[in-house]
Amino acid sequence: MAETAIELKNVTKRFGDVVANDHINLTLKHGEILALLGENGSGKTTLMNMLAGIYFPDEGEIFVDGHEVTIRSPKESHALGLGMIHQHFKLIDVLTAAQNIVLGMDGPVKMDMKALTKDIRRVCERDGFELDLDKKIYEMSVSEKQTTEIVKALYRGADILILDEPTAVLTPQETEKLFSALRKMKDNGKSIIIITHKLNEVMEISDQVTVLRKGKNAGTINTIDADERTLAEMMVGDHVDLNIERSAVQAPEDKVEVRGITVRNNEGLKTLDNVSFTAHTGEILGIAGTSGSGQRELLEAIAGLQEVESGEIFYKAPDGSIEDLTKKTPAQIQDLKISLSFVPEDRLGMGLVGNMDLTGNMMLRSYKEGKGIFTDRKKPRELAEKIVDKLEVVTPSVETPVRNLSGGNVQKVLVGREIASSPQVLMVAYPVRGLDINSSYSIYNLLGEEKKKGVAVICVGEDLDVLIQLCDRILVLSEGTVTGIVDARKTTKDELGILMAKGRKDHSHRKKQEPEEAV
């Protein structure tokens, strides 16, 4: 057996003129955990997708166990003992864990599900995974789904596991559980690559770190020799300032009051259940929760984009009058001269129009202004130029369609437009997702400035460390219910993690369905 599990030599992948991976070398030794660290868009997932058989490299060689290989499809990747757990799970909701695990494998027409389930259970026991194999995917929590994906890869004979941002959807406690499972697999001789952009995770789990920066290998070091600051600087290639300035709250007043709102989705399931809170002026209210806990619905309900089944939303105008926003459409809210700014999670699907240029996107908020049937493009154009200038948006011109901009620049355009209307209430969802470290911190500072101006800021975030540093109070959502509102200056990550998991319906107590004999 060769010493290296995987070796990449000069691997290059281009998309049009964009070089996603530029002559990258990478080595994974047997029985080690390698962290692949890099900012969003630095080419981590692209590189790993070439190992998974999803992309094909334009140049370079791939060696598995010392042999040069050509991986042209996911099937060939499996055959080489590679298993990738993608960020978005590839599971079929209505099938059980066991059915998902054997799905697509070769075998006789009629499968002996009992025997297969026994085989799978043996794999689980060997590597120390707890998984109810007869449970359907739609009954599972995110963490259980992830376990299913990992067991699927192991059952198919993977010796080398690649996990793409596995902790993004987990609470701190679940992350801890995953990490101990990974350590155990390592002890059993598996080799693991974990893609991440979180520095603390790298320090905690990995033996080696390879850092990617703008599609290039920015260096590989032993984790023992690294600290968070050096890793951050390797990622950015420049000095970084990791401090968030948090000013004291000045004269808070009630601005938005949410009283017991309940929202249902298309399937009639409650996405928000009796949610109440008050957002104050001059304060940043953070909203934490694992993804899909109702954050999106909450912000959309306030913005008038979600139908509210019961409960009320009140807005206190600067002159002291109180408006009921509950049954209002976005247009009616605009007409009330309530300047409510909203940076939604889905930037190109809700906040911006991808095929329109920067000027056209500025018009989204202002096109109705002015009399007559014609639009005014002059003022939006000036605003676009101002934002490009002030937030250092990298774009050929304000006439470039926003879909051609990078994720970070798209976000700057959106945040810039929403702040430009000098709002009373500013709601942002995942404001730094996809941004590089330096831009992230400039966005945090922008939010801080709005707070100083007396704006009521509501910020949905995923990085608990950042929420604790940035916000004044943090509201925790779990499956659509508020499990706590805590003082950000006093809370800890652990406390938030417990609140995030609290109130979760325990899916395993549901009545089990009869396992099916054949697939």
Partner 1 sequence: MKKTKKVFHLVKRSDMSRGKALVFRLIAVLLSLIVCAIVIVSITHQNPVSVYSGILAGAVGTKRRIWVTIREVAVLLLIAVGLTPAFRMKFWNLGAEGQILIGGAASAAVMIYFAPSLPPVLTMIILLAASMIAGMLWGFLPAFFKAKFNTNETLFTLMMNYVAMQIVTFCVVLWEHPAGSNSVGVINQSTRAGWFPRIGGLEYLMNVIIVVLITILTFVYMKYTKHGYELSVVGESHNTARYAGIDVKKVIIRTMMISSAICGLSGAVIVSGASHTISTSTAGGRGFTAVVVAWLAQFNPFAMIATSALLVFMQQGSIQIASQYGLNENASDIITGIILFFLVGCEFFIRYRIEGTEVEIEEKAGGAKA
User: 60: which 2 tokens?
Assistant: 């370079």
Burial 459-468 (b: 16+ CB within 10 A, else e): bbbbbbebbb
How many residues sit close enough to partner 1 to count as binding (CB under 8 A)? 47
Closest CA to 448 of 484, 421, 419: 419
Which residue, 165 or 418, has its beta carbon nearer to partner 1?
418
User: What 3-state class would DSSP assign to 196?
Assistant: strand
Q: How far is the CB of 396 from partner 1 (least distance, A)?
A: 11
Q: How far is the CB of 337 from partner 1 (least distance, A)?
A: 13
Alpha-carbon distance of 328 to 331, in angstroms, equals 8
Residue 102 CA: distances (Å) to CA of 105, 106, 119, 358, 510: 6, 9, 11, 48, 24
- Half-sphere exposure at residue 418, Cβ-oriented, CA atoms within 13 angstroms: 27
Which residue, 327 or 505, has its beta carbon nearer to partner 1?
327
Which residue, 57 or 294, has its beta carbon nearer to partner 1?
57
Which residue, 72 or 512, has its beta carbon nearer to partner 1?
72
User: 239: which 2 tokens?
Assistant: 């000095």
Which residue, 64 or 85, has its beta carbon nearer to partner 1?
64
Which residue, 304 or 311, has its beta carbon nearer to partner 1?
304
Alpha-carbon distance of 59 to 405, in angstroms, equals 26
Q: Could you say which DSSP state residue 410 is in?
A: H
Looking only at residues 152 through 171 of this chain, which bind partner 1 when binding is defined by CB under 8 A?
none
Residue 394 CA: distances (Å) to CA of 261, 405, 433: 41, 8, 17
Cross-sheet strand order for the sheet of 456-460: 340-343, 425-429, 456-460, 283-288, 473-478, 481-487
Q: Per-residue contact track with partner 1, 60 to 79, x per CB under 8 A?
A: -------xxxx-x--xx-xx
Q: How far is the CB of 363 from partner 1 (least distance, A)?
A: 6
* CB proximity list for 172: less than 8 A, separation 6 or greater: 464, 493, 494, 496, 497
Q: How far is the CB of 17 from partner 1 (least distance, A)?
A: 4
Q: How far is the CB of 326 from partner 1 (least distance, A)?
A: 17
Q: Per-residue contact track with partner 1, 331 to 370, x per CB under 8 A?
A: x-xx-------x-x-x-xxxxxxxxx---x--xxx-xx--
Which residue, 403 or 512, has its beta carbon nearer to partner 1?
403
Q: How far is the CB of 81 from partner 1 (least distance, A)?
A: 12
Q: At what angle do helices 172-187 and 142-155 cross, to 10 degrees?
A: 10
Site membership for partner 1, residue 498 (CB under 8 A): no
Q: How far is the CB of 245 from partner 1 (least distance, A)?
A: 31
Looking only at residues 290 through 329 of this chain, which bind partner 1 when binding is defined by CB under 8 A?
303, 305, 329
Q: How far is the CB of 345 from partner 1 (least distance, A)?
A: 11
Q: How far is the CB of 438 from partner 1 (least distance, A)?
A: 26
Q: Tell me how far apart the 2 most distant CA atoms of the chain are, in Å.
A: 77
Alpha-carbon distance of 65 to 7, in angstroms, equals 8
**Which residue do the tokens 């437009």 mark?**
417
Which residue, 363 or 446, has its beta carbon nearer to partner 1?
363
Q: How far is the CB of 50 from partner 1 (least distance, A)?
A: 12
Q: How far is the CB of 291 from partner 1 (least distance, A)?
A: 18
Which residue, 340 or 488, has its beta carbon nearer to partner 1?
340
From first CA to last CA, the distance across the chain in angstroms is: 38
Which residue, 142 or 338, has its beta carbon nearer to partner 1?
338
Q: Could you say which DSSP state residue 73 is in?
A: S
Looking only at residues 403 through 462 of this chain, which bind partner 1 when binding is defined by CB under 8 A?
404
Amino acid symbol at 55: Y
Which residue, 27 or 334, has its beta carbon nearer to partner 1?
334
Alpha-carbon distance of 345 to 351, in angstroms, equals 8
Q: Which of 229, 307, 330, 494 binds partner 1 (CB under 8 A)?
A: 330
Residue 47 · residue 21 · CB < 8 Å: yes
User: What 3-state class would DSSP assign to 347?
Assistant: helix
Looking only at residues 1 through 20 of this chain, which bind partner 1 when binding is defined by CB under 8 A?
14-18
Which residue, 235 or 402, has its beta carbon nearer to partner 1?
402
* CB proximity list for 343: less than 8 A, separation 6 or greater: 351, 411, 414, 415, 418, 426, 427, 428, 429, 431
Alpha-carbon distance of 515 to 96, in angstroms, equals 8
Which residue, 116 or 133, has its beta carbon nearer to partner 1?
116
Looking only at residues 23 through 52 of this chain, which bind partner 1 when binding is defined by CB under 8 A?
none
Q: Which of 375, 421, 438, 442 binds partner 1 (CB under 8 A)?
A: 375
Q: How far is the CB of 350 from partner 1 (least distance, A)?
A: 4
Alpha-carbon distance of 256 to 302, in angstroms, equals 9
Q: How far is the CB of 49 from partner 1 (least distance, A)?
A: 14
Residue 415 · residue 387 · CB < 8 Å: no
Looking only at residues 84 through 123 of this chain, which bind partner 1 when binding is defined by CB under 8 A?
106
Closest CA to 435 of 425, 424, 446, 427: 446
Alpha-carbon distance of 220 to 35, in angstroms, equals 10
Which residues contribute to the site for partner 1 (CB under 8 A)?
Answer: 14-18, 56, 58, 67-70, 72, 75-76, 78-80, 106, 303, 305, 329-331, 333-334, 342, 344, 346, 348-356, 360, 363-365, 367-368, 373-375, 404
